Amino acid sequence: MQRTRWMLTAAIAVALCGSTAWAAAPAPKAIGVDLAGVDHAVQPGDDFYGYANGAWMKTATIPADRSSTGTFFKVFEQAEQRTAELIGHAGAHHPAAGSNERKIADFYAAWMDKAAIEKHGLAPLQPELKPIDAIASKNDLARVLGSRLRADVDPINATNFHTEHLFGLFVTQGLTDPSQHVAYLLQGGLAMPSRDYYLSQDPAMVAVRGKYQHYVAALLKQAGATDADAKAKTILALETKIAQAQESLLDSQDIHKADNLWRMSDFASKAPGLDWNAYFKAAGLDGQQQIDVWQPAAISGLSALVASEPLADWKLLLRFHTLDHSASLLPKAFADLHFDFYGRTLQGTPEQQPRWKRAVSATNGDLGDAVGQLYVQRYFPASSKREVQQLVSNLIVAFHQRLDTLSWMTPATRQKAQAKLDTLRVSVGYPETWRDYASLKISADNPLANVLAAEKFEYQHQRAKLGQPADRGEWWMTPQTVNAVNLPLQNALNFPAAILQPPLFNPKADAAANYGAIGAIIGHEISHSFDNTGAEFDAQGKLENWWTPADLAHFKAAGQQLAKQFDQYEVLPGLHVSGEQTLGEDIADVSGLTIAYIAYHNSLGGKPAPVIDGLTGDQRFFLAFGQAWRSKMREAAKRQRLATDVHAPANFRAQTVRNLDAWYDAYPVKPGQKLYLAPKDRVKIW
C-alpha cells in the first residue's frame, strides 16, 4: 500500500462485489490464494517472497509498455478497462454542451486526434513560450515564474514534490492549527525525477545524465533551436545547481523541519534574490498573510540562483521545461523523444503504451471526479460500501485490542492513542462532495490546451481553499484510483472504490486470504496514523507531542531497529534499501499485518480455522500477504524507486512476516534459516 508522509503518499483501490460489477467475472477459487504460484523448492524461512511467488516469477513477463507487473497491476488493469469503457461511452448519447459527459468525451477525443496534433504543431504552446521570450529583466523573470506556480495534489509524494516549475504549492491544514488551510511552498525546478539523478556518482546515474543531455539537445533542435548541444549543456549545468540547492528526501520527510511560517515580508530577507512581490502577485498569492516554507534552505538557495545565474540561462531553461512538460501532446517527433528518455531510459520500458491507455489516464487525471461519478454508479453499489466499512471497522477494533495489550506503553500515552483511533475518519469509495467542472473549458480538438487549462483549474481550486476552514472530509484520490491514503493532518483515511477486487479482496473467498491481503492493506493505512510521522499528530491532526518521554524513546528505538533490518536488503548490486527513507511504510507494514492477523482470528469466532488444500488458516493468511506484494520490475525502474520512493521494493515488504511470532509457528521457521530472527530481534511497534 501507499502511504502518506506529512499529511501524507505512499503512496491503493476498484469496486467491491456488487452484482453489476461482478456479473462477468469468473467464479473465484474458495481458497483465495494462488497455489500454482508457490515455489515449493524455496523454504519459507529462507525467502518467504520467493516461496509465495517463485513459480509465478519464473513465467511472469512484464508487458512491453510497462516498467513492472504484479498483483497491483492486475487490479489496475481491471480499473483501467472499466474507466476506458465509461470514457468511451460518455459521448454516445450526445450529451449537452458543458455537461461532465461532454467534457469527458471531448477531452478524450482531442487526446486521440493525432492528425489535429500534427496540424497544430507548436501553435498551442505559443501562449506559454511567448512570455518567456519577452523576459527582459529579473523582475520579468519573477513574474513568469510566479505565473507558472502549480499545485501538487498528490498527498503520497507531497514532500518529494517533483515539478519542472521552480516551486510548487500544496494546500492543506496547518501543522499547528489544523482548523485552517495553509499554503505550503515546496522546492522544484528539475525535469529528472530527483536531485540524485544530477548529483549521484553511481555509474548508472552518470550514464543517465549523458543520455539526458542528449535528449535536451534533441528536443531543442526539434523545436528549431540553433546550437542545441551547447544549450543542452547550459541547461544541465543550471539544473545541477538547482539540485545542489534542494534538500534531500530524508530532510524533506522530517516534519519538524517543515514548520516554517514566513510572513510575506520575510521572503525578501530570508530568501533574497527573487523579486517575491512580483512572484506572489503573478501567482495570485499576494493577499496571503503568511506561507509555510517546507524546505527553507532550498527556497533560499533557489532564490539566490535566480539572482546569480544569467537571465539568458533562465530563459533557456524555462523554454526547455515548457517543451518537455508538453512534449507528449506535441507532434509525434516530440512525443517520441520524450518517451525514449522518460520511458526507455528512466524506466527501461521498451514500448510506449497504446494511445487509448494514455488518453484514459489523462482523462482520469484531469477530469477525475467527473469520471469517478460514472464509475461508482456502475461499479460501487451501496452494498459494497457497507461491506468495506465493516471490514475497516473490524480492523479498527483489532487495533484497539492491540493498544490494550502493549506492555511497553504507559496508560497516559495509551489513552491518547485510543482517542486518536476513536476520532479517525474513514472515507470509503468516493467523496461526499464532487468537484464542479463548470468553469473548465474543454476543446474537442486541442488536447494540449485542455491539459494546460486543467492544470490552471486545479491550481485555482487549491488556491481558493486558502482562508477557508479546513475540510476534514476532503478527498485526495478519485474513486477509480487503485490506491489508498492516510492523511495525518485530517486524521483521516481515503479508500477509493477501485482497490477492493480480486486478488486483493474477494467476498466469496476464504477469510484468511481476505485478511492477509486487503486486511493487511487496510491495517497498513490505519497504522500510518501511528508511524514515525503520523505519530507526531494528535487526534485533531495537530503537530503535537502526546507521548511520555519513556514511550517515545521506546517507539523511536523500535523504529531504528526496523530501519536497520531494511538497510540489509540489497536491491541491485551495491544498492540497498534506505531503512530511514522507507521507515514509515515499513512500520505501517508490520503494524498493519499484526492487526490484520488479530482481526482474522476475531472473525473465526473462537472456532478453529479449516484446513484447505493442506494449508492451515494461518498459512493461508501469510501466503495471501506474500502474494499481495507479487511484483516484477525492470532494473531502471528499480533505480528510480530507490532514489524517489518512500516504499521498499515489494519483495522485501513481503518479508515483513519475519517480525510476527505467529509466522514462525505457521510454517514453521527455525534458527539458521535466512529470515529467522530471534524473538528479541523481532520488531513489535504496535
**Mean pLDDT confidence for 196-201:** 97
Would 345 be classed as within a structural domain?
A: no
pLDDT of residue 303: 98
Distance CA 649, CA 629 (A): 9
Residues 302 and 391 in one domain: no
pLDDT of residue 382: 85
pLDDT of residue 249: 93
Question: Residue 284: which CATH number?
Answer: 1.10.1380.10
Grid coordinates belonging to 681: 530481534
Residues 231 and 291 in one domain: yes
Residues with Cβ within 8 Å of 386's Cβ and at least 6 positions away in sequence, in order, are: none
pLDDT of residue 157: 56
pLDDT of residue 352: 97
Question: Residue 401: which CATH number?
Answer: 3.40.390.10
Residues 364 and 477 in one domain: no
Measured between alpha carbons, how far is residue 615 from residues 55, 173, 508, 611 in Å? 18, 48, 18, 5
Would 55 be classed as within a structural domain?
A: yes
For the cut 90, the answer to whether the pLDDT of residue 65 exceeds it is yes
pLDDT digits (tens, 9 = 90+) for 646-678: 999 999 999 999 999 999 999 999 999 999 999
Residues 263 and 292 in one domain: yes
Residues 182 and 227 in one domain: yes
| 383 CB burial (10 A radius; 0-12, 13-18, 19+) | exposed
Residues 370 and 288 in one domain: no
pLDDT digits (tens, 9 = 90+) for 608-627: 999 999 999 999 999 999 99
pLDDT of residue 158: 54
Residues 177 and 284 in one domain: yes
Would 298 be classed as within a structural domain?
A: yes
Residues 397 and 545 in one domain: yes
Would 16 be classed as within a structural domain?
A: no
Residues with Cβ within 8 Å of 336's Cβ and at least 6 positions away in sequence, in order, are: none
pLDDT digits (tens, 9 = 90+) for 140-188: 999 999 999 999 877 655 555 567 899 999 999 999 998 899 999 999 9
Asked if residue 503 has a cis previous peptide bond (ω within 30° of 0), the answer is yes
Residues 478 and 506 in one domain: yes
**Mean pLDDT confidence for 17-41:** 62
Mean pLDDT of the chain: 92
pLDDT of residue 159: 55
Name the pLDDT band for 16 (thresholds 50, 70, 90): very low
For the cut 80, the answer to whether the pLDDT of residue 10 exceeds it is no
Distance CA 511, CA 531 (A): 27
Going by C-alpha positions, the residue among 666, 379, 665, 409 that lies closest to residue 530 is 409
pLDDT of residue 8: 28
Residues 258 and 309 in one domain: yes
Measured between alpha carbons, how far is residue 89 from residues 105, 441, 479 in Å? 8, 20, 18
pLDDT of residue 365: 94
Would 635 be classed as within a structural domain?
A: yes
Range of the domain at 559: 36-63+380-432+473-681
Distance CA 178, CA 166 (A): 27
**Mean pLDDT confidence for 539-558:** 94
Going by C-alpha positions, the residue among 173, 226, 150, 36 that lies closest to residue 472 is 173
pLDDT of residue 156: 58
The better pLDDT of the pair 488, 320 is held by 320
Residues 559 and 530 in one domain: yes
- The structural domain count of the chain equals 3
Distance CA 647, CA 1 (A): 9
Would 145 be classed as within a structural domain?
A: yes
Residues 260 and 219 in one domain: yes
pLDDT of residue 385: 86
Name the pLDDT band for 17 (thresholds 50, 70, 90): very low
pTM listed for this prediction: 0.91
pLDDT of residue 373: 97
Look at residues 421, 448, 465 and tell me which one is the last residue of a structural domain: 465
Residues with Cβ within 8 Å of 12's Cβ and at least 6 positions away in sequence, in order, are: 1, 2, 72, 75, 482, 483, 484, 499, 504, 521
Would 246 be classed as within a structural domain?
A: yes
pLDDT of residue 163: 75
Name the pLDDT band for 418 (thresholds 50, 70, 90): very high
Share of the chain above pLDDT 90, in %: 87
**Mean pLDDT confidence for 249-256:** 91
Alpha-carbon 389 to chain mean position: 23
Q: How many CA atoms lie within 13 A of 174 on its CB side?
A: 17
Would 347 be classed as within a structural domain?
A: no
pLDDT of residue 23: 29
